[in-house]
A and B are shown apart, each in its own frame.
Chain A
Amino acid sequence: MSKKHHITTIVNGDEYEALCETRHTLLDVLRDELRLTGTKEGCATGDCGACSVMMDGRLVCSCLVLAVEADGKSIDTIEGMASGNELHPLQTKFLELNGLQCGICTPGFLIAARALLERNPDPTESEARYWLAGNLCRCTGYDKIIRAVLSAAAEMRGA
């Protein structure tokens, strides 16, 4: 058995420690060690966005980040998106506008969409489509996802 590494990360504001092999990804550790299974694996090659998380404020595919790279970093996952009982406006709009069918892609879309709205509070439809082009959804045809994102953006701007 190869030697394990000890890593410490802040996940959704709380400090976590984990032991991991060199080959383990951040996604592996989030899911299998910390049991934060809201972050999903759809490909493990950076092509589906189901594993999207924020690392030190940057949107990343957690399947492309080695767990040891996350040592000392701050990670935000879907489990931390709502504040207390209050859903994030994106979560509310996904629910209200049926922006999810099976829901396996939903955490990734929500994390990626929040990152979009943080840097561009008023995206056009086309900007939203291109920003979210790294997230695959096979159920919805994207229509209601894009509408939910634009509608949440409007609400957050107070428009």
Chain B
Amino acid sequence: MTTILKKPGFNPDRKYKIIGTSPVKHDGFDKVTGRAKFAADAFLPGMLVGKVLRSPHPHAILKRIDTTQASKVPGVKAIITRDDFPEIKQGTGGGDMTRLAMAREKVYWEGHPVAAVAATSESAAKKALKLIEVEYEVLPHVIDPVEAMSPDAPILHDYMRTKGAKGPDAEKPTNVVERHALGIGDVDKGFAEADVIVEGTFDTKPMHQGYIELQSCVANYSDDGQVDLWCCTQAPWVYRDRLTEILKIESSKIRIQQSELGGGFGGKTTFYLEPLSVVLSRKAKCPVKMTLTRVEVMRATGPVSGTQSTIKMGCKKDGTIVAVDSTLVFQTGPYTGSAFTNAPQAMLTRYDLKNVRTVSYEVVSNRPKVSSFRAPCVPQVVFGVEGLIDELATKIGMDPIEMRLKNAIVEGHKTIYGETFNRIGFVETLEAAKACDHYRAPVPKGQARGIACGFWFNRGGETTGSMNLAPDGTVTITLGTADVAGSRMSMAMMAAEELGIPVDRVRAVLADTHSLGYNRVTAGSRTTFSSGIIVVDSARKIITELCRRAAKIWNVPEEGVVFEDGVCRPASSNVGEFEPLSIKDIAHKTTYTMGSISGHSEMNVTGAGPGFAVHIVDVEVDKETGLTSVKRYTIIEDAGKAISPAQVEGQFQGAAVQGIGWALNEEYVYGSDGRLQNPGFLDYRMPVASDVPMIDTVIVEVPNPKHPFGLRGVGEVPLTPAMAAIGNAIGHAIGIRPRSLPMSPPKVLAIIEEARARGVLPAG
């Protein structure tokens, strides 16, 4: 094992100079002046414009495509269809990928690409798209995952059989990709010990990641078969390897440079335009730029799984949860890839449970293939779990935070999926929530309060990076992970801290795929943790080399030199009397010592520290209209160590507002024809500034001993409990807790009427 993973060198008594401050992000300057280069901001000489023809049907056999007339439009340089892609067998990873990029036998969603055109102007390209003739044989479609499971549902893939299914149904064509069971103990025995049992079915609607930057890319396929691709992505190396797989181009010939990333949240882990632009460029012999419209983003990119969870939970009078039983259904698009197994693993991981049964199903449907979104598939299920815990707490008359403390896990806990936790901070987070101003303040009149908790694993994985020392003593870092919200600055801070130099002497840049080895996708809240370890490891290698050079300059043995506070000095007076040498002094002399100094590191990073959060929210529900307003919101979360507290707060606040949108408003609305009816920001309404209050934050710091500075990932945990907290608050406001997202005015109004009829809410 690599040394730093074994010996991260975490020191709880270390006093930091840079870590824990919030300096201005280096990449910020170009972003406030309009100079930052996002994906759509690139232009190449002779560049063509590429546009996509998309299926108007959610499910149809693609019988014939005729591009004859289209190719006659002046300015059209290339048209591509399924015939321009190598055949890869259906039902394999590569087969799915190529069919997602360009339809082959069938179209599987409204918006599925069927052809693409490159032309000298957008007008010419659009004119050509209109002239492409496509003959479809329309098939019945299915979008809702529960309907897709029924025996008479239209089948998307005749070849599909349910993985993990047993019995006679296992041999039949189905829309159920997989049945996944996970559990511990004896649930029936557990329920027998319960004093109170609650159960419910919860459903959440598909929604979108909602990044503001439209996907865009520029591909140049040169005459010797080299591909240069510029795009916004969370996963340059993954894109490269997938292009290799579906286009049969060697990886060494594909160079991907990531642009500034204008938001991703998991939605830019999958390519859409990139394979099309490469194939168009190859055919047209010109660079091709393609940019999605917002309507295309909504119709044809990474939506989030809709779900249905049926959960039963029991507890004793003292608050001990004794059993949980659940059946969970996750919608994916036409192919697997929802990462649904996250949900059974994470939904209860924070409570010490002895008896749990979960059965989860992933189901295909006539929608674009779902893509990751902050803690994929977890917030949807936590909405149900934390809702039921709240009901139990109410029934037994226990404070909701005390109820969670009663069941909270601590260091040494073995999870349902087999991992044993090192140091974790759930109890500290709950205690901080109990002590925070928001929780101690009385609930204002006319409002109600909800709380909920969440967990995310946080990830590590394959990561690479390099660090170079320039002759003037400044340092550059080349990173393999993408910068989704400011991680270049966090890396510069960690390097500066380790090297003992000001952060303005360090710059971090994002590598292209030729410059570093493979990097796993930037997701799973792994970036600052994993690349942080790479950066510290690289800095330590540089420090070792600095000591070696100082020894050479002084002509003393290497062991005679130590590095402290940014300078090399003699380890003791026995070594001799020498003026300390700063990094700058040594860097200046590299030509005369042994040449330039750099540090490089690559490893499969392990040791990510799990994260836990508590959300507290006060809402006001208008009983006339059913409209919910969020009045006060506080996130309390364990960050291990906040490298830049302002950035950590930003992660919490952004996630909270995404959660508010998901809880109250955001949903894909499909017509009975299977077409999306709200593919734009007017009808798919994300929260705006006037919809939300300030979001208060409490950063808890229970260090992760596996990281040199103790940090944990913070990007995903803060979305996991958001909808549950808001649902619990609404439940307290109107007497019945909503079980379906979004909790939009018409739905809440219907619940208010039901609550009045049942006498749990006084008549208005």
User: Chain A interface (Cβ within 8 Å of chain B)?
Assistant: 1-2, 21, 23, 31, 35-45, 47-48, 50, 77-79, 81-82, 87, 91, 94-98, 100-107, 110, 125-126, 128-130, 132-147
Are B212 and A138 within 8 A (Cβ)?
yes
Q: Mark B632-650, 1 if CB is under 8 A from A, else 0.
A: 0000000000000011011
Query: Which residues on B sit within 8 Å (CB–CB) of A101?
Result: 263, 484-486, 647, 650, 654
CB distance from B645 to the nearest CB of A (A): 9
**With contact pairs A102-B485, A103-B260, A136-B212 given, residues A146 and B689 touching in the complex (Cβ less than 8 Å):** yes
Are B34 and A37 within 8 A (Cβ)?
yes
Question: Which 5 residue pairs of A and B lie closest in terms of their CB atoms, listed nearest first?
Answer: A38-B34, A104-B262, A103-B31, A141-B653, A141-B657
Q: Does B166 contact A (CB under 8 A)?
A: no
CB distance from B696 to the nearest CB of A (A): 9
Are B214 and A41 within 8 A (Cβ)?
yes
Query: Which residues on B sit within 8 Å (CB–CB) of A95?
Result: 24-25, 28-29, 32
Give Cα A21–Cα B124 distance, bound, in whole angstroms.
12
Give Cα A131–Cα B100 distance, bound, in whole angstroms.
41
Contact of B40 among A37, A48, A81 (CB under 8 A): A37
Give Cα A97–Cα B646 distance, bound, in whole angstroms.
8
Residue in chain A with minimal CB distance to B211: A138
Give Cα A96–Cα B644 distance, bound, in whole angstroms.
12
Are B656 and A141 within 8 A (Cβ)?
yes
Binds A, one of B64-72, B416-424, B542-550, B680-688: B680-688
Q: Does B75 contact A (CB under 8 A)?
A: yes
Are B688 and A102 within 8 A (Cβ)?
no
Are B680 and A45 within 8 A (Cβ)?
yes
Query: Which residues on B sit within 8 Å (CB–CB) of A144?
Result: 646, 649-650, 653
Query: Which residues on A sit within 8 Å (CB–CB) of B28?
Result: 94-95, 100, 103
Q: Does B213 contact A (CB under 8 A)?
A: yes
Give Cα A136–Cα B691 distance, bound, in whole angstroms.
11
The CB with the most chain A CB atoms within 10 A, among B27, B294, B484, is that of B294
**With contact pairs A128-B689, A132-B689 given, residues A47 and B682 touching in the complex (Cβ less than 8 Å):** yes
CB distance from B170 to the nearest CB of A (A): 42
Give Cα A106–Cα B29 distance, bound, in whole angstroms.
11
Contact of A103 among B27, B75, B210 (CB under 8 A): B27
Query: Which residues on B sit within 8 Å (CB–CB) of A133?
Result: 688-691
Query: Which residues on A sit within 8 Å (CB–CB) of B556?
Result: none
**With contact pairs A37-B41, A141-B654 given, residues A87 and B32 touching in the complex (Cβ less than 8 Å):** yes
Are A139 and B689 within 8 A (Cβ)?
no
Give Cα A104–Cα B37 distance, bound, in whole angstroms.
10
Q: Mark B374-399, 1 if CB is under 8 A from A, else 0.
A: 00000000000000000000000000
Query: Which residues on A sit within 8 Å (CB–CB) of B62?
Result: none
The CB with the most chain B CB atoms within 10 A, among A91, A105, A136, A146, is that of A136
Q: Is the interface of A mostly helix, strand, loop or mixed?
A: loop
Are A43 and B36 within 8 A (Cβ)?
no
Number of residues in B with C-beta < 8 Å to the partner? 62
Are B484 and A102 within 8 A (Cβ)?
yes
Query: Which residues on B sit within 8 Å (CB–CB) of A35?
Result: 43
**With contact pairs A1-B123, A38-B34 given, residues A142 and B680 touching in the complex (Cβ less than 8 Å):** no
Give Cα A19–Cα B733 distance, bound, in whole angstroms.
59
Query: Which residues on B sit within 8 Å (CB–CB) of A42?
Result: 212-214, 294, 681
**With contact pairs A102-B484, A143-B695 given, residues A45 and B682 touching in the complex (Cβ less than 8 Å):** yes
Are B34 and A78 within 8 A (Cβ)?
yes
Q: Mark B108-126, 1 if CB is under 8 A from A, else 0.
A: 0000000000000101100
Known: A44-B293, A102-B211, A102-B264. 13 other contacts (CB 8 A): A40-B212, A43-B681, A87-B32, A87-B33, A100-B25, A101-B263, A101-B486, A102-B212, A104-B260, A136-B681, A138-B263, A139-B650, A141-B655
21 CB contacts below 8 A, A to B, read A1-B123, A1-B124, A2-B123, A31-B40, A37-B41, A40-B38, A41-B40, A45-B682, A48-B294, A78-B32, A95-B24, A100-B31, A101-B485, A103-B28, A103-B36, A104-B212, A110-B32, A133-B691, A138-B265, A138-B686, A141-B655
Q: Does B694 contact A (CB under 8 A)?
A: yes
Are A47 and B38 within 8 A (Cβ)?
no
Give Cα A145–Cα B681 distance, bound, in whole angstroms.
20
Query: Which residues on B sit within 8 Å (CB–CB) of A94?
Result: 28, 32
CB distance from B118 to the nearest CB of A (A): 16
Residue in chain A with minimal CB distance to B265: A138
Give Cα A146–Cα B649 distance, bound, in whole angstroms.
14
Contact of B294 among A23, A44, A77 (CB under 8 A): A44
Q: Does B35 contact A (CB under 8 A)?
A: yes
Number of A-B contacts (CB under 8 A): 189
Q: Mark B155-176, 1 if CB is under 8 A from A, else 0.
A: 0000000000000000000000
Q: Which chain B residues numbered 177 to 233 have a C-beta less than 8 Å away from chain A?
A: 209-214
Give Cα A142–Cα B650 distance, bound, in whole angstroms.
9
Query: Which residues on B sit within 8 Å (CB–CB) of A106?
Result: 31-32
Query: Which residues on A sit within 8 Å (CB–CB) of B37?
Result: 37
Give Cα A122–Cα B688 distance, bound, in whole angstroms.
21
Give Cα A103–Cα B41 distance, bound, in whole angstroms.
14
Give Cα A141–Cα B124 distance, bound, in whole angstroms.
40
Q: Does B305 contact A (CB under 8 A)?
A: no
CB distance from B190 to the nearest CB of A (A): 39
Give Cα A144–Cα B647 distance, bound, in whole angstroms.
10
Q: Does B22 contact A (CB under 8 A)?
A: yes
CB distance from A105 to the nearest CB of B (A): 5
Are B213 and A98 within 8 A (Cβ)?
no
CB distance from A63 to the nearest CB of B (A): 10
The CB with the most chain B CB atoms within 10 A, among A104, A141, A143, is that of A141
Residue in chain B with minimal CB distance to A108: B212
CB distance from B399 to the nearest CB of A (A): 28
Are B690 and A102 within 8 A (Cβ)?
no
Query: Which residues on A sit within 8 Å (CB–CB) of B121?
Result: 1
CB distance from B487 to the nearest CB of A (A): 11
Are A129 and B646 within 8 A (Cβ)?
no
Q: Does B146 contact A (CB under 8 A)?
A: no
Q: Mark B270-311, 1 if CB is under 8 A from A, else 0.
A: 000000000000000000000101100000000000000000
Give Cα A55–Cα B61 distance, bound, in whole angstroms.
49
Query: Which residues on B sit within 8 Å (CB–CB) of A143?
Result: 649, 653, 694-695
Query: Which residues on A sit within 8 Å (CB–CB) of B646?
Result: 97-98, 144
Are A98 and B650 within 8 A (Cβ)?
yes
Are A91 and B33 within 8 A (Cβ)?
yes
Query: Which residues on A sit within 8 Å (CB–CB) of B212?
Result: 40, 42, 48, 50, 102, 104-105, 136-138
Residue in chain A with minimal CB distance to B680: A45
Q: Does B746 contact A (CB under 8 A)?
A: no
Give Cα A81–Cα B619 distance, bound, in whole angstroms.
39
CB distance from A110 to the nearest CB of B (A): 6
Query: Which residues on B sit within 8 Å (CB–CB) of A45?
Result: 294, 680-682
